[in-house]
Amino acid sequence: MANYLVTGAAGFIGFHLCKRLLDDGNSVVGIDNLNSYYDVSLKLARLNILQQFSNFNFYKTEIADLPGMEAIFSGHSNLSFDVVINLAAQPGVRYSLKNPHSYISSNIVGFTNILECCRHNNVKHLVFASSSSIYGMNKKIPFSVSDNVDHPVSLYAASKKANELMAHTYAHLYGLPCTGLRFFTAYGPWGRPDMAYFSFTKGIMEGTPIDVFNFGKMKRDFTYIDDVSTAIETIIGKPAQGDKQAGMPPHAIYNLGNSRPNTVLELVAAIEKATGRTAERILAPTQPGDVTVTFADHARATAAFGFAPKTGLEEGIANFVAWRAGS
């Protein structure tokens, strides 16, 4: 069994990953600031499940707090973390238009602290969250990790691009194996209320109108949470190797997407089918920072660790609606 540190442990992806690792008998230290970006009660409900495991320890702290992070790493020096999975971040595209400083604090300062703590504590592998938002208005589809991503259209996307570059630098300078994961619209039970599928389901179940931006024409590569957490669990045991002779540091980037994008109207239809109710749609123009389509080319992930998403949108949404109805 291994020892893991997971930041953003009370978040959507973090919760699912922690539970998998704990179910397998691993020791997990979780960090989360439990901020109010969305309903804290949902984060606490996730955390309550994790705290039922004797092999789970939790710290409420900010990753931007360097002394606090150093204390956590030094306090567990008798264990030492085999792998650190950094899922803590300020998410959201539209929110970055209103609160840019929160993205700098968590996604830039916080990630720097993670990198420093990893290099000074002999962490064997750092896995970190990137995002499909990094592709911006890329016209070439599907999106490949070899594509140029120098034109982000939101501060959130820019911060994730910065994370990838920072990790590459630490891999180069200090030999720290780093793996970045570009998540493509992860969804499912215990998901984030700020995401469209969650708010759509809430509106449809309550009989209130839903705002459908870009008149429903936007496409998203919806990726079910079980497929995402399975991939992460596999990746953490396969750190990037690099090639010193070729000047390649131990740094890798992967797309984690379903590679089957659906329109927002198809998402609405899936929710209607799962709930047995009809949505009242308010069609609206595109919002600033939104991208028209996300579409993952996950060939590199498939070749490296057999990534093969299994869950289609209708099945995943049905699972989410069932959870939402019972929550």
Percent of the chain surpassing pLDDT 70: 99
DSSP structural state of residue 129: E
Q: What is the pLDDT of residues 52-81, one digit of tens each?
A: 999 999 999 999 999 999 999 988 765 689
Q: What is the pLDDT of residues 204-214, one digit of tens each?
A: 999 999 988 88
More confident residue, 17 or 285: 17
Res 135: pLDDT: 93
Write the burial class of residue 41 (CB in 10 Å: 0-12 exposed, 13-18 middle, 19+ buried): exposed
Res 77: pLDDT: 61
**Is 220 strand, coil or helix?**
strand
Which pLDDT band, with edges at 50, 70 and 90, does 137 fall under? confident
d(CA 282, CA 293): 20
Q: What is the pLDDT of residues 254-295, one digit of tens each?
A: 999 999 999 999 999 999 999 999 999 988 887 776 778 899
Q: What is the pLDDT of residues 97-128, one digit of tens each?
A: 788 899 999 999 999 999 999 999 999 999 99
Asked whether 103 and 90 are in contact (CB, 8 A), the reply is: yes
Q: In the CATH scheme, what is the code of domain 3-188+223-259+295-310? A: 3.40.50.720
Task: Mark whether 170 is an active-site residue.
Answer: no
d(CA 222, CA 220): 6
d(CA 21, CA 24): 5
Q: What is the pLDDT of residues 149-186, one digit of tens each?
A: 998 888 999 999 999 999 999 999 999 999 999 999 99
The sign of the CA dihedral 234, 246, 160, 312 is negative
Res 242: pLDDT: 80
> Which residue of the set 156, 170, 187, 197 is catalytic?
156
Res 79: pLDDT: 63
Mean pLDDT for the stretch of residues 37-46? 95
For the chain, the domains span 3-188+223-259+295-310
Count of Cβ atoms closer than 10 Å to residue 327 Cβ:
9
